[in-house]
Structure 1
Amino acid sequence: MPTDEKQTGDSIQAESSQKTVNLLKVRDDHQLVRFEVVEEGKFKLCEGVDAQWVSAQEFGLKELRSRIEPWLTSLFQSEHLSLLVGSGLTHAVHGIAAGKPAAGMSGSVTEGQFKEKLNAAASASAKAVGRDQSNIEDHVRVANELLRGLEILGDNQQADALREDLSKALLNFAQSILKSEAGIATAAEPQRERAFNSLVTFLMSFASRTGTRDRLNIFTTNYDRLLEAGAELAGLHLLDRFLGNLMPIFRSSRLDLDMHYNPPGIRGEPRYLEGVARFTKLHGSVDWVQAGKDIRRIGLPFGAGEVDPYLKAPGLTGASPHQLMIYPNAAKDRETLAYPYVELFRDLAAVVCRPNSTLVTYGYSFGDEHINRVIRDMLTIPSAHLVVISRDDNLGRILPLAEERKSQVSLLVGTQLADLTTLTEYFLPKAAIDRATFRMSELLKQRHGAESSHHGSTKGDGQAGDAEAKT
């Protein structure tokens, strides 16, 4: 479920949200292009803002599309392309389907005698990384630390009580994740279809890579299975660290598996199979369970009513909700508390910190410092590029990053630019038809050239026909 739902604390963004201001920076823009909404589909530049590509006082989605879509299309064909998805995608799809945001991440871990101290410690932990309010991750982290301390002191009674409270809190959190999934899955059919169609279009805009390019890498900080559900509907095969079919096991040894096919009539030259992407859930998942020494993915249906019955399966060695692998929870592996998350973050750093790499973030508020550190390292590579698509900058971290690395950061910030429906219909490249579009452009160019040089002569028509045949 979302890991970066934060409170609005940035004064600039607060002012922007009142005026419905959108921030755009693409191509060779030297400064942010700020524009306001005049009416549905009509915009105007904010006072004091100048943009050469805006010729009239007002402009619409057509002008925005001509400015944004070609730029994103070129970036999406970088040698290495990665997508980082935050809670914004879950809220966007849930909003289309159910008409309201998905469940949040608030709530404490215990109601016992340690409640006040744990809440204070969680709040201090959140403020240390720039967040105004703590979330469930902060509470789980400090509760696990206290639990370990009680175990060291040998206070078994209080340790057992805290462990039970922690297990209940994780179960309730898992239930809220499943409730959000169910809100999408059980929505009225027209809204549900529209929501999933937008999700599928969103994913395939990134996944439709040419055969000579590296695979798309998808990273998410969410615990829900929305991306997995969208990939199934899109026919997109996701490759991750789990191996097996009935109850897949997380493997530290990444074999770098891929899928190829042999074209008819060609032997010994396998090509990339289309519709394949690499997938990493950086903060774990609601269906990951620690079973003994292994981490397994259980068969938890999308939007299931509850988690507990699926933890009773043979092979899970009496797993309880405390064994759910929700970051930063590692119930039994005390000596390696960061497992398996250290492996996942290593994957993120290895993938994005490469030359000619483009990272696109959607719905990520830059609230996780361990991820931000990797992104800052990526931007030290001159050929790397970052595209930020977000409804707001509620933590005030996006704009300073863009100011620091002007030439390497593109921004689409605002409710009009980041709206999932508008984004998929107008701004994201339609990769599935790009090749046909390019061929049509070449054909028209060759025909036009032939007609101009021969003034419509028969010879010119013949050359145009030859060009068409070659195309």
Structure 2
Amino acid sequence: MSKPRWAPEDRFEIGGEELLPPVQAVSPSGETETHDELDFARHWEESHKDIRVRVGTLLKTETVSFLLGAGASVDCGGELIGSVPLSVERDLCSKGISGTERFRMRGWLRVFYLAIRCTSRNVDMPVTREQILARWHQLDAKGVEPLKVNFEQVLETLHCWRAALPDAECRLRVDGVPSIDVKGSDLASCLDYSTRSLAATCQLPTPEKQAGIATYRTLVRKLLTRPLNLKRVNIFTLNYDTLIEQASDATGVVLLDGFVGTQRRVFRPESYEQDLYFPAETTEGHVHRFDRVLHLYKLHGSITWASHTPSIDDPYGIRSSVFNPDGEHPVLIYPTPAKYGETLGLPYSELFRRFASALVRPQSVLFVIGYGFGDEHVNSIIRQALAVPSFTIVIVDPRPSSDFVNELRKQQDRRVWIAEGPTLGKIAGFVDHVLPDLRDEEIRKQVLETHKAVDEIRISSYGNTCDDG
């Protein structure tokens, strides 16, 4: 009998009910007994099978969606942006500070640290020239800690400052502690350098984490085992990386991502309404639905998106191409907004509208992986979906501790499923051990039913033989 794959901290609960047995079965004397081990292993196998069957049932519902956050990219080398990534800070300092003895500091780098100070409201954050230089010298030291402020919120602060200026020639002054006095040109440069540096860190998988992409390939493959008569699976991601795109390319999957074109891919949201079919081998006129298709929605943009001037043949001025860190057009990666009005511009308004539409459909399921519920726009849409009686949410998180999840747990709602722990709470463990391959499950089910039928026939035949005797 196979050993459990879970760690002691792993849990899988539905409406507050724990479905997994404790990993350690220990006797009162402190030593694990053989009988207890066998009972536990049997109980674990039954619980594991039950969880996979339940999740497989969800996969067969009419509308299935996935929401991926930054935690889903960690195994591929992705950075968590709940703090300022050290790689980003090092890159910005290397570009903003020059000289060997008398250091020269660019104005835009001071703006960057000023935004960090204002966003965090932490007086210990570096903001003066001397403090910034001291921080720069510490960045290569072993064990240096990242600055504890959400990096997307720092970008959001910079965007708000820029929105207050009519053009780059103006200057922004705000009294306070610290006082704000920045030139529009420095602000524009700071945003450009910061955005490009963040985009560069999203070129995943990193050389030392190449194996992580295998999880995404497995995820894509398992999603395609849904019956073809159901709606296409929707993958909504808040990440800027291209891991889903790479996994889809490797498995021959067609992604409907809102862009059309061959040499020049432009944003056309109506393309989400399209589907792919191919003719049958006979001449009867029947067509078959192409099975390798998924819908991809990048709610916060992508490192492959670039802003262009809108035109008749490019109405939204958004194009998708291979990421170029030195490209002349601004990269469209979108910081978490503080005001609802900031998300109303295309393409984000259209993508969020489709996210909301998918969740409120009858018999809709949302798998949330690696998202810490820190985006109020996303949270409000999920709250709206929870008003639909047939909606189910599955939260996959190593340590779900957000106020949003805590509030859901208090409700003890059977529509709220939570997988947590160092194995089940991560995308690799969930995809490998919990998310079933429906084709394998169907084969296994057929084999079990066949064996059961054969056993019944044997028992019946044995009974008839005894009667004849």
Partner-residue secondary structure (3-state), 2:432: helix
CA offsets, 1:285-307, max 9 Å, x none? 0110001121001223xxxxx61
TM-score, scaled relative to structure 2: 0.73
Matches within 5 A, 1:120-269: 120-123=117-120, 133-151=148-166, 155=170, 158-178=183-203, 181-183=204-206, 186-187=207-208, 192=210, 194-254=211-271, 256-265=273-282, 267-269=284-286
Unaligned regions of 5+ residues in structure 2, if any? 1-6, 28-36, 93-106, 122-146, 172-181, 311-316
Q: Which residue of 2 aligns with 1:81?
A: 64
Deviation track 1:200-221 (CA, whole Å, cap 9, x = no partner) reads: 1122222321011111111111
Instruction: Give the aligned partner of residue 74 of structure 2.
Output: 91
Pick closer, same or farther for the CA change 1:59–1:146 going to 2, 3 Å. farther
2:412 equivalent to 1:395:
no
**Structure 2 counterpart of 1:296:** 319
**Across the two proteins, how many residue pairs are aligned to each other?**
387
Structure 1 portions without partners, runs of 5+:
1-18, 45-53, 95-100, 125-131, 301-305, 312-317, 459-471
Task: Decide which of 307, 323, 335 is 2:325's aligned counterpart.
Answer: 307
Residue equivalent to 1:24: 12
What does 1:333-412 align with in structure 2 at a 5 Å threshold? Answer: 338-404=345-411, 406-412=413-419
Give the 3 Å change call, closer, same or farther, for CA 59–89 of structure 1 in structure 2: farther
Check conservation: 1:259, 1:273, Cα contact below 8 A.
yes
| Aligned-pair identity (%) | 23
State which drifts further: 71-80 or 386-395: 386-395
Answer whether contact 1:247 1:299 (CA < 8 A) is retained: no
- Whichever residue aligns with residue 433 of structure 1, its letter is D
Deviation at 1:422, TM superposition (A): 3.6
Bigger Rg over Cα: 2
2:116 is aligned to 119
Q: Does 1:439 align with 2:446?
A: yes
Instruction: Tell me the SS of whatever aligns to 1:412.
Output: strand
For the Cα contact (< 8 Å) 2:52–2:435, is it kept in 1? yes
Pairing of 1:325-336 with structure 2 (within 5 A): 325-328=332-335
* AA at the equivalent of 2:183: Q
- In structure 2, distance between residues paired with 1:369 and 1:206: 28
1:393 partner SS: coil
Q: Report the equivalent of 1:277.
A: 294
SS at match of 1:151: coil
Distance 2:414 2:247 in 1: 33
Which whole-Å CA distance do the structure 1 matches of 2:188 and 2:199 have between them?
16
Please give the root-mean-square deviation of Cα atoms over the aligned residues, in Å.
3.5
TM-score, normalising length from structure 1? 0.72
The correspondence for 2:55, drawn from 61, 72, 75, is 72
Residue 117 (structure 1) shift: 5.4
Provide the C-alpha distance between the structure 1 equivalents of 2:455 and 2:336, rounded to a whole number of angstroms.
64
User: Structure 1 pair 374/43, CA: closer, same or farther in 2 (3 Å)?
Assistant: farther
